[in-house]
Amino acid sequence: MTTGTNHSPATTVDPLKIELEQLVAGEHGDPHHVLGVHSEGDDTVVRGYRPGAEAMAVVLPDGRRVEMGREHPAGVFCGRIGEPVTELLTTGGYRLEVRYPGGGTFTVDDPYRFWPTLGDLERQLIIPIGAVGLLDGQTYRRGAGCIGR
């Protein structure tokens, strides 16, 4: 007679892989959490998504290029830069060089380099008149044509 339990090998869950799947399916609630620049120790990680791209590189303000590795076959790439995020962003940021099948190569600004911000105009456009709610951590009540806190 055998005693004990029958365990299957431990399953490893990769949170990044789950987030990338959500991202390419258009179901990720916060793409800035995954894309753009992020601190990782003393380094900076830049992740970009260009559907259908076959290669990407980070182009730094001083002209250096950092090749990015493919993280998802749909066109998500990641590159590691050996300098702090603050230095990268205060020296003019970066651009992404994107190559598509057939040889088309384009250098573009990364929209995820910029954090999302909402000004008064955007708040007025997205909050219906008479609404009360929470936006940017603040409670808002919108009357006819104005927003109050």
Structural domains of the chain ordered from first start = 15-113 (2.60.40.10), 117-149 (no CATH)
Q: Is the dihedral of CA 86, 34, 94, 58 positive or negative?
A: positive
pLDDT for res 126: 64
- DSSP state, 74? T
- Is residue 56 predicted with pLDDT exceeding 60? yes
Are the C-beta atoms of 77 and 71 separated by less than 8 Å? yes
Report which of 63, 68, 97, 91 is spatially closest to residue 81, judged by C-alpha positions.
68
In the predicted model, what is the mean pLDDT of the chain? 79
Are the C-beta atoms of 34 and 47 separated by less than 8 Å? yes
81-95 tens-digit pLDDT: 887 777 666 666 789
- Is residue 39 predicted with pLDDT exceeding 70? yes
Are the C-beta atoms of 88 and 37 separated by less than 8 Å? yes
